[in-house]
Amino acid sequence: MRIRPTRYALVLLGVAAGGAHAADLTLCVDRSSPMAQTDVAVAQAVGSQTHAKTKIHYFDGSGDDDGFDLKEFNALAKASCDLVLGFPVDADAPGLPEGMRATTPYGHTGFVLVLPSASRATSLDGLAKGTRVAVTYQTTPNLFFVAHPTISADVHLTDDDGLAALDRGTVGAAMIWGPTVAKHLKAAKETQRFHTVELTDAHARFDLVALYDDAHAEVAHRFESAVAALNTDGRLGKLLSPMAMAGAATRTPAPRNALWRSPRDTTASASCASKDTKPPPLFTTAQADAGATKYSDNCAQCHGPTLEGRAGPALKGKHFANPAANFHVGDIFTIVSQNMPATQPASLPQDDYVEIMAFLLRENGYPAGSAKLTFDEAKQSKVPLVSNAN
Ligand code: HEC
């Protein structure tokens, strides 16, 4: 998965829900998620709706990217969960952890624009030229600046840091994961000072689903029926309203098969397509060669000498350039030129960024040609980012 909605979504990647049959229904909730309270309420309502003996199993999905032991987590989830609640799926690029299935969405959430209450803006377009907007590292709103060149990113390590910057007035707005905002505003009783607007940009909206594996299809079906009943009589909407996001009632879920293509399916079909349509040459060999050196000097410490990833994610292969993510060269170039190096964003000369981009593309199997890549071309490029490297 590329830029992930939140860290706890990442730790759920690769979860294999497994069977605990002590209770009729064991629902797992990530207690570190800002949605935990809502998930618990949904779980309880599903329990009483189905008259099943319901057990809620808490796990802690927090922890930093390196410190969290995914294997341990998988073992825990496997032993303890029929369904894992609260998994956010990008409505514009649905994908699930390998081997997992998803229930039909029980709610919707996403990234919201948080504004001082005096602001009249109703979208990013409404922000004054030069507005600095707080965003969290590795979250999709980092991409929204491509389409809105008059505003700029102020990147923070956590959602809370971004909201604090808004509170201090060092930024004019923030784009933050909705559940975090709802929790924060509720806790701080700051609903008077700030208001939120749902972002409609691509990859801003997510469906909330419960994850399960093949062995739990029957339990998942019971969960879905209960959710449908709760939705019909309005109880679900009430449970979800604290998150300030729409309940399932407001949007008709897409037909199941269309929505829940497995990630493997999307990858397979898109990579077949990419074999037929070779990417055009975008840069020269000289640029990529120069970029290799500049990459070692400025990026390798975090992304690894062979782009394999360290403190920063891998910049090569299918995790970096996954066709299912539907990224373009321009999107990634914008991240690189505005947010990298992570410790000193936008500190390199424009040509250096272009050359480093040429190097990254070549490493991902893009061909060199005779025309030089320019900064503006790189930024606007709609060439799909699909790695041909392994
Ligand atoms: C101090 C460590 C550090 C340095 C130096 C650094 N990065 Fe990063 N980079 C990160 C981290 C951490 C992330 C993930 C957070 C984010 O996306 O904001 C990241 C994310 C990225 C991404 C997005 C990857 C994806 O899959 O979405 C790209 C592309 C990238 N870096 C390129 C570069 C380039 C090119 C350089 C050198 C000019 C560089 N980085 C230097 C730490 C670093």
Q: Is the beta carbon of 317 within 6 A of some atom in ligand 1?
A: no
Q: Minimal CA–CA distance to 26: which of 273, 216, 225? A: 216
Nearest CA to ligand 1 atom 9: 312
Q: Which of 7, 203, 340, 353 to mutate to test the pocket of ligand 1 (most atoms within 8 A of CB)?
A: 340
Digit-by-digit pLDDT tens for the chain (390 residues) are: 233 344 333 333 333 334 334 347 888 888 878 888 888 888 888 888 888 788 888 877 665 443 334 555 565 566 678 888 888 888 877 777 777 788 988 888 889 999 988 888 889 999 999 999 999 887 888 888 888 889 999 998 888 899 999 989 999 999 998 888 887 776 666 556 788 888 888 888 888 888 888 888 888 998 999 998 888 888 888 888 765 443 322 332 222 222 222 222 222 233 333 344 577 899 999 999 999 999 999 999 888 899 988 777 889 887 777 666 667 888 889 889 988 887 788 899 999 999 999 999 999 989 999 999 999 999 989 888 887 765
Task: For the beta carbon of residue 71, count every other beta carbon within 10 angstroms.
Answer: 8
In the block, tokens 């397509």 appear at 273
Domains of the chain in sequence order: 7-108+207-260 (3.40.190.10), 109-198 (3.40.190.10), 276-380 (1.10.760.10)
Q: Is the beta carbon of 364 within 6 A of some atom in ligand 1?
A: no
Q: Is the beta carbon of 119 within 6 A of some atom in ligand 1?
A: no
Nearest CA to ligand 1 atom 13: 312
Q: Minimal CA–CA distance to 123: which of 173, 169, 85? A: 173
The whole-angstrom separation of Cα 199 and Cα 206 is 11
The whole-angstrom separation of Cα 269 and Cα 216 is 27
* Strand pairing class (132-136; 368-369): unpaired
The whole-angstrom separation of Cα 104 and Cα 124 is 30
pLDDT at site 295: 97
Q: Is the beta carbon of 338 within 6 A of some atom in ligand 1?
A: no
Q: Is the beta carbon of 12 within 6 A of some atom in ligand 1?
A: no
Judge if the upstream peptide bond of residue 341 is cis by omega within 30 degrees of 0.
Answer: yes
- Rounded distance from Cα 183 to ligand 1 centre (Å): 29
Q: Is the beta carbon of 252 within 6 A of some atom in ligand 1?
A: no
Q: Are 262 and 96 in contact (CB under 8 A)?
A: yes
The whole-angstrom separation of Cα 249 and Cα 97 is 26
| Interacting residues of 17 by C-beta distance below 8 A, sequence separation 6+ | 28, 77, 78, 81, 82, 83, 84, 100, 211, 212, 213, 216
Q: Is the beta carbon of 301 within 6 A of some atom in ligand 1?
A: yes
Q: Is the beta carbon of 383 within 6 A of some atom in ligand 1?
A: no
pLDDT at site 323: 64
- Rounded distance from Cα 247 to ligand 1 centre (Å): 35
The whole-angstrom separation of Cα 158 and Cα 93 is 24
Q: Is the beta carbon of 384 within 6 A of some atom in ligand 1?
A: no
- DSSP lists the bridge partners of residue 279 as none
Q: Are 339 and 155 in contact (CB under 8 A)?
A: yes
Q: Is the beta carbon of 113 within 6 A of some atom in ligand 1?
A: no
- Rounded distance from Cα 144 to ligand 1 centre (Å): 17
- Rounded distance from Cα 336 to ligand 1 centre (Å): 7
Q: Is the beta carbon of 2 within 6 A of some atom in ligand 1?
A: yes
Nearest CA to ligand 1 atom 12: 312
Would you give the distance in Å from CA 41 to the centre of its chain? 24
Q: Are 134 and 142 in contact (CB under 8 A)?
A: no
- Rounded distance from Cα 12 to ligand 1 centre (Å): 22
- Rounded distance from Cα 299 to ligand 1 centre (Å): 7
Atom of ligand 1 nearest to the CA of 314: 26
State the helix-helix crossing angle for 36-50 and 217-232, rounded to 10 degrees. 100
Q: Is the beta carbon of 356 within 6 A of some atom in ligand 1?
A: yes
Query: What's the predicted TM-score (pTM) here?
Result: 0.54
Q: Are 32 and 159 in contact (CB under 8 A)?
A: no
